Structure 1
Amino acid sequence: MVKRANDQQLTVEPNPLEVHGDSVRFTMSATLPTKMLKKGKEYIVKPYYVYNGQEIELQNLVFRAEDFPNAKEEQPRLSRTLSFYYTPEMRRGELFVQGVARNPENNKTRETDRMKVAEGVVTTARLAQEGYYPSYAPHGYNNQEELEPTMIGFFFQQGSSYLRPSETRSDRGTYLRNFIADKNITRTVSITGTHSPEGSERVNTNLSQDRAQVIEKYYRDNMRRYDYKGMADSINFILKPVVLEWEPLVAALEEYQGVDATAKQEMLNIINGPGTFEEKEDRLQRVTGYRKLFNEVYPLLRTAKAEILTVKEKKTDAEIATLARQIADGTVSPDTLSNEELAYAASLTPNMQERERIYQAASKKSDGYGAFNNLGTVYLEQARQATNESQRNQYLEQAVTQFEQANRRQENAEAYTNLAAVYLMQGNVQRANEAISKAETFSTTEQNRAGMMGVKGYLQLRQGNYNEAIRTLSTAEESAENLYNLGLAYLLNKDYQNALTRLNEAIQKNSRLAKAHYAAAVANARMGNEDAASQSLQQAVTIDPEMKRSALEDLEFNRYQESERFRNTLR
């Protein structure tokens, strides 16, 4: 059998070997010549991966004569999926097989020489950019202009639009004069004029409009009195006359307790039933309790109500930032700012130390989860910027403490997203997966959700789940890193055109992202575009010269190793 082994056919797919997730997985197929397999004997194909002076013995393919009764006429064939756990030193290695003829009766064996059947390992999947997103809880502060409504109404006598002195001297009139005197920044004044439904009011179709105009004039007169000058021109007056409409009466009637339920229902039936406005009002007059309605409810409908929208008074960003620093220093009371203002102040500064101190003050002032999560997020960002392992680990421990504090107060998406990033930095992929899965179960802002998808997509990419990674990263924040990972997922899924599209988008976001240029070189190399591959590779090694060595050893570029242009690119 050993002599005939030279005629065996061995194939490996893929070749070169590739790492996906944390392992190298491939299919080995062996086909023996006819008449090679002898009765009662076995032929064993023993695969080995040899690297760096070491070797891994993989699962054997065993041909037993009894399993192939037609071996004299038909070639015996076996195929098996094999795998081994990958470590970086395995990148340069070779897959060998050795044939062993064995007699099961006496266990005697004869061996062939080892034969090289594949090279390894293509490590393109290891180019994934670590998923990281600093997930800050929303501060809840609106730094944009906000409008506050103020409602003031005036009453008129039946059939009249005259604004009586008793109204202007009332508490309502005094309040409006003082309001105007304060010169609040005002955007609009909407005045709704109404009338009651009885004849003397409804016959005057201009009554509602006239009442609204009277209030506008009163308002403008007071602006002149208090010297508004150019300020008055910026105020938009909107008049809304309500004519022959039942809604004001229906609303007032539902609140009115002066008639019994039967009479009230009868009135509502008339209002909601058929007939013209005049016919309905005439029928109302015949209902028991109408007089009380006329005397007690109708006067409330003879009004003009002003809704005044003024700009809410707020501190400037500079004032908020200054007060936040003073709160952090302990020189002013924490109550000088609201919880929202204090959290907003932290977002205004790019300085991590200052941000840390503000969030520390915020976590003492508020027992909400946000301050604790955001303090932890600062520690997470500092861990990424740390220059040594000890400092990095210390920041990560502080971050975890704060995220756990946040979740104890209220489980939330932001803290779990951040914990996933911590676990990734600590190399614990399983816990990172658990944390990001938990994060998905809670509501958050659209921005944080998109950032979360970037972390999740990276995890899927790292584990070799390329279709899932593509779906997830397509909904992620469109950062250079996420677009790059999306392009890499397409590349590993053998969709090279979409890969190049996404990689170019990543490069447009960050032209210094060397990995994106390198991955584009790989995509072009797989498509046989040597010029484009060399151009992208040149850009990658210009940004990061360390990539020259990687490219020289990368089996993705095997076909170009003898190309003068390729070698010139890497000199």
Structure 2
Amino acid sequence: MLCYQKKYFTLFACSLLLLLFASGCTLQKMVRLAKKQEIVVQPSPLVANGQLVEFELKVALPPNIIKEGYRYKMDVYYEYGEQQREQVGAINFEFGEFLYEKGWPTITKQFSFPYAPKKNKGKLYVQGMAIKKETEEVKYSEPKQIATGLVTTPLLMVRNNEILFIPDSYATEADKPANLTFYFEENNAKLRSHLGSNLAVLDQYITDNVTTQNVTITASQSPDETKEMAQKRLAAMESYYRTRLEVLNYRNKKVTIKALPVKSTWEQLVAKIKTSALPKTVVQEVTTIANSNLSDKEKDAALQKTEANEYLQLYVYPALRFAEVTINYSRDKKADYELYLLAKQIAEEKAPADALTEQELQHAATLTPLLAEKKQIYEAAVKTTNKWPAYHNLGKVYVEMARKEYRPKAKQALLAKAIHNLTYAGFRNPTAPVYYSLASAYHVRGDKLEALQYYDYAIKLGGNPEELKRIFADKAALEIEIGQFDDAIESLKYSGNNYQTQMNLGLSYLLKENYEGAQEFYGRALELQPNDALANYSLAIIAARTKNQPMLTTHLRKSIKADNSYTLKAIEDMEFDAYRTEQAYKDAFRP
């Protein structure tokens, strides 16, 4: 019996060893097969765009590497600095994860990792591993470098993204009327209580603790809507106010409501088009049609044939579908010291919420230079008034706090709060400046698609020419970041002839490899800001790409002379790698 047990144990051990050996052989064979892998990285070298480095990785493996009970995985990572390694992602060759191309299992996948200047000089690697699923036994392949990084030229755009506080007009406008605008869907007079609605704010005004209110209402429509649509909106707005007044007017204040004649469609259109970013000749053509003696239907048909038609449909007509409510009443003014102390008490819940009005709270926040105190007062204003300026200015404070924050997670959290409050400001006051602020917050946070959406919203709502130029300029900067260079060039047509416009036109053409065009726009930027370091540096990059060594020396030297920080930038920039040993490059660093 003992002899039998020994034989059984020996047989079992041998079988186990054979299985382990067979498993090891299979894993080893998979690793050997993987050496035939085909890997394509786009772009290569890697390119920094905005706050991210984004790239596409396409991997094809020999078909025999796919085996039942086994899988092949590839880790993707980026190494930079002194042995710093950042895990970027992984590719798993399992059934359902790959497609066959020319008989080879193939995976195409998008990757990204956060950009930081310290990552400028780094390398992208993959390391494969063959894995037995049942035992998790692993055999690693040798790491393989597949790309270098980073080209940072797309980061040379000029951005503004300056969010402004709502101007403090308490001293001069405390007694002026409040204006609320309500937008409607095309050919619709139904008031909306969701995105873009001011109904909640209107309810706040209806409940305000005052003795009298004088309310006026008017409405408008776009040229392509059915007749009398503006009148229907006017009636809907007046009906809503009177109905809510019966429910919410528990203080028995005296309220008078007056419905004004509807606003002229064509006068409104002319006013909007004159504040648009369209060329003067196009504005004149639209104005001539609008002021003509043609019928409304004929005017609309004529406008559809103009160069402005797309702009009208996207950015002007939606802004003409509105009703407007003006609420007029006055209050006694308090001294600044009294406002500040009361605001602090409200923020600390030591005074009743209605001790100050919205305008008084807003003004009190301007009386302190400390962001932390501003935040407290604007939070109190949000809580007690629920009105758009409080949300907007609180969002602005959070953005400023984020810009001073060096910890990435804390910075992102502050920007998330900024976006939250600016979104509510947009709900309550959907205007171009407010949506520009929201777009800018998204842009600063790196949420590119959301930022682009809100830049478009801002443009659609229209505004004064200077506001629109700012919006188009930063929208173009974002379009450069996401690689939409033609769209950026189109946006820059409406951003004015300022320094930011010329620099971003230059960068757009540079990235499109139209170096002659790029050089022309950078030259215009230098006319506006002579000896500008960034413009000269960009021209040095063009020189490097076009192999113009005298030009490289001239502009790189001017850039470094204007701003010494460009010395280190030029040393690290991959754009100049081919010139490190050239005299033209060395001469640029000489005094």
TM, length-normalised to structure 1: 0.46
Higher CA-based Rg: 1
